[in-house]
Amino acid sequence: MDIEDHHMRDAEEANGFGPGSSNGAEDDDDTGSERLVYEDDKGHDLQELALEQLRRRGLLPTGCCYDDRMKLHMNADFSPNAHHPEDPRRIHEIFKAFKKVGLVYTGPQAELPRILKECPTRYMWRIPARPATREEICLAHSTEHLAWVERLETLSTAELRELTKQFDQGRESLYVGSMSYPAALLSAGGAIDTCKNVVTGQVKNAFAVIRPPGHHAESDAPMGFCFFNNVPVAVRVCQQDYPDICRKVLILDWDVHHGNGIQNMFYDDPNVLYISIHVYQNGEFYPGKPPNPETPDGGIENCGAGAGVGKNINIGWHDQGMGDGEYMAAFQKIVMPIAKEFNPDLVVISAGFDAADGDELGGCFVTPPCYAHMTHMLMSLADGKVAVCLEGGYNLTAISNSAVAVARTLMGEPPSKMAIPKLNKEAARALAKVQAYQAPYWECMRPGIVNVPSMHSLQASRLHDVIRNAQRQMLQEKHNMIPLYVQRDHLYKSFENQVLVTPLLHASRRLLVIIHDP
């Protein structure tokens, strides 16, 4: 079935969980007999009934949001060399992988009640995608920007091609098509309902397999394959609709590119902690430095502003080539300590998989087990309320394997054992810089980072000085030992109480010198 045929179907049929849903033209031959669960009103009623039973038993499934119609956003340039990394097949391959490994039910409808009774959390639970409303989009975007994206529907093919030629270069890096607007609305709406289902306890956690991605989109402009910034829109909706149970939100962005749009939307917000792990290359790696020098980029030194100071954390690598060792170190040294101190009500992962091993665009080497371990650590926060929203990732095999690892972890499988390589020295220096910049705002970042001049200005004492003074007093009381003056003024304070002698030192013919580590 051609993708244009999906355009003619209604929302229920176009949904990947519905009847006759295509896995793409290349799969038509082997999917004719497949029927996914929840494919009609009766099936949907069964969902609600079963879900109520799960609530009473304290068992909740993992949610999954997917809709074929998001594949309708495609490049208007149909020339032989028009291939673009933000390919409609990205979400298709992920969802196909979910089905292949048994995360999504594909069997007969009649078997479902028995399966749910025996194992309520065996399969992912359907979260239907729906278009975001204008009001929801405008919680994060200007009305002018919404109107610009909406206008794409009215343009001719020639106009769309010309616009793509204009935008698909440099920092904008965007292609447009006649279905870009409805697909972008579905992507944002899918993120919204994924997060809402997690917040309200309809599911324990969820994965939104959505496109076009969002984290580069600014409040007033599209950018970097992105039209609407899905995660900020979803976070704003949840904070607005559920202020009592969703006040503080952690957004963890592990896409290889800095999420400039998310950063700028929450830069002065004290209730949203944004942590981005990305390649920075001194501002040379995409998205690079913004045209306005007053706008912060992905540099480590940019920590937020106003009431939101300390709530923006950039872990920017010096170069590509980072892998499991660097990402696990970032999580253990920076991400998790700060996240626990922040204590969020909801965790949203901006899950780009372009840092995955095999993605040539990202040039990094993060493995599926590493993504699983990072997900597992984040699941210890916010009572396990974790919503994963797809961002980038352009190698179809790498993105599918990584997404499956994350989904399996969300569903309760323990992460695979992994060998952690040695930490890159430059990456270690970057993590130390992050700690230093964030130390004024987070207790967990402070040990060991106060320098001596700052200590003196605070009239503070170093711990080893306190210990040595106590040792001097003890040795003086027991053995009448006294400190020996070091006759160099610039060294005296450093070695005070470090050299102790008995009173008969000058009269003794034999000396016993004991040297030991402090």
Confidence grade of residue 518 (pLDDT, cut at 50, 70, 90)? low
- Asked whether residue 6 falls in the same domain as residue 143, the answer is yes
- Burial class of 417 by CB neighbour count within 10 A (0 to 12, 13 to 18, 19+): exposed
Q: Report DSSP letters for 291-316, one per residue.
A: SSTTS--S-TT----GGGTTSEEEEE
Residue 357 pLDDT exceeds 50:
yes
- The residue among 33 and 274 whose pLDDT is bigger is 274
- Asked whether residue 478 falls in the same domain as residue 438, the answer is no
- Asked whether residue 475 falls in the same domain as residue 406, the answer is no
Domain range enclosing 121: 1-81+105-153+173-203
Instruction: Decide if 277 is inside a domain.
Output: yes
Strands 249-253 and 272-279: parallel
Residue 341 pLDDT exceeds 50:
yes
Element (H, E) at 135: helix 134-137
- Asked whether residue 144 falls in the same domain as residue 178, the answer is yes
pLDDT of residue 67: 97
Lowest mean pLDDT, pick from 31-40, 331-340, 360-369, 418-427: 31-40
- Pair 65, 129: CB distance under 8 Å: yes
- State the virtual CA torsion across 42, 47, 53, 55 in degrees, nearest 10: -150
- Asked whether residue 194 falls in the same domain as residue 268, the answer is no
Residue 484 pLDDT exceeds 90:
no
Instruction: Decide if 516 is inside a domain.
Output: no
Instruction: Decide if 165 is inside a domain.
Output: no
Confidence grade of residue 498 (pLDDT, cut at 50, 70, 90)? confident
Q: Distance (Å, rounded) from C-alpha 347 to C-alpha 354? A: 21
Q: Distance (Å, rounded) from C-alpha 222 to C-alpha 182? A: 15
The arithmetic mean of pLDDT across residues 61-67, rounded, is 96
- Pair 227, 219: CB distance under 8 Å: no
Q: How does pLDDT run across 431-460, given as a tens digit for each residue? A: 999 999 999 999 999 875 555 555 555 566
pLDDT of residue 55: 56
Sequence-ordered list of residues with C-beta below 8 angstroms from that of 458, at least 6 positions apart, any chain: 450
Q: Rounded mean pLDDT of the chain?
A: 86
pLDDT of residue 1: 39
Instruction: Decide if 518 is inside a domain.
Output: no
- Asked whether residue 438 falls in the same domain as residue 481, the answer is no
pLDDT of residue 35: 32
Q: Of the spans 7-11, 195-199, 417-421, 444-448, which averages the highest pLDDT?
A: 195-199
Lowest mean pLDDT, pick from 1-10, 219-228, 397-406: 1-10
- Asked whether residue 472 falls in the same domain as residue 444, the answer is no
Number of domains in the chain: 3
Residue 254 pLDDT exceeds 90:
yes
Using CA atoms, how far residue 452 sits from 456, 492, 499, in Å, is 6, 15, 22
The arithmetic mean of pLDDT across residues 175-180, rounded, is 94
- The residue among 231 and 461 whose pLDDT is bigger is 231
Q: Report DSSP letters for 471-511, one per residue.
A: HHHHHHHHH--EEPPPS-HHHHHHHTTTSEE-TTTTT-SS-
Q: Write the DSSP symbol of residue 419.
A: P
pLDDT of residue 7: 36
- The residue among 379 and 450 whose pLDDT is bigger is 379
Q: What percent of the chain has pLDDT over 90?
A: 66
Residue with tokens 């006294």: 482
Beta bridge partners of 218: 221
Q: Distance (Å, rounded) from C-alpha 370 to C-alpha 330? A: 12
Confidence grade of residue 161 (pLDDT, cut at 50, 70, 90)? very high
- Asked whether residue 443 falls in the same domain as residue 482, the answer is no
- The residue among 354 and 420 whose pLDDT is bigger is 354
**Catalytic pick among 216, 258, 278, 373:** 216
Q: Distance (Å, rounded) from C-alpha 318 to C-alpha 321? A: 10
Element (H, E) at 64: strand 62-65
CATH number of the domain within which 303 lies:
3.40.800.20
- Pair 37, 112: CB distance under 8 Å: yes
Please tell me the pTM assigned to this model.
0.78
Residue 418 pLDDT exceeds 60:
yes
What does the block give as tokens for 255? 């896409």
- Asked whether residue 433 falls in the same domain as residue 483, the answer is no
- Asked whether residue 435 falls in the same domain as residue 487, the answer is no
Residue 54 pLDDT exceeds 60:
no
Q: Distance (Å, rounded) from C-alpha 34 to C-alpha 100? A: 12
Instruction: Decide if 377 is inside a domain.
Output: yes
Q: Report DSSP letters for 423-475, one per residue.
A: PPHHHHHHHHHHHHHHTTT-GGG-TT---HHHHHHTT---HHHHHHHHHHHHH
pLDDT of residue 508: 81
Instruction: Decide if 194 is inside a domain.
Output: yes
Count of C-beta atoms within a 10 Å radius of residue 349: 27
- Pair 481, 500: CB distance under 8 Å: yes
Instruction: Decide if 89 is inside a domain.
Output: no
- Asked whether residue 12 falls in the same domain as residue 50, the answer is yes
Residue closest to 433 by CA, chosen among 309, 330, 286: 330
Q: Distance (Å, rounded) from C-alpha 381 to C-alpha 337? A: 11
Q: How does pLDDT run across 113-145, given as a tens digit for each residue? A: 788 778 888 999 999 999 999 999 999 999 999
User: Side-chain half-sphere of 439: how many Cα atoms within 13 Å?
Assistant: 13
Instruction: Decide if 221 is inside a domain.
Output: no
Residue 394 pLDDT exceeds 60:
yes
Residue 27 pLDDT exceeds 60:
no
Count of C-beta atoms within a 10 Å radius of residue 231: 32
Strands 62-65 and 125-126: parallel
373 carries an active-site annotation: no
- Asked whether residue 437 falls in the same domain as residue 465, the answer is no
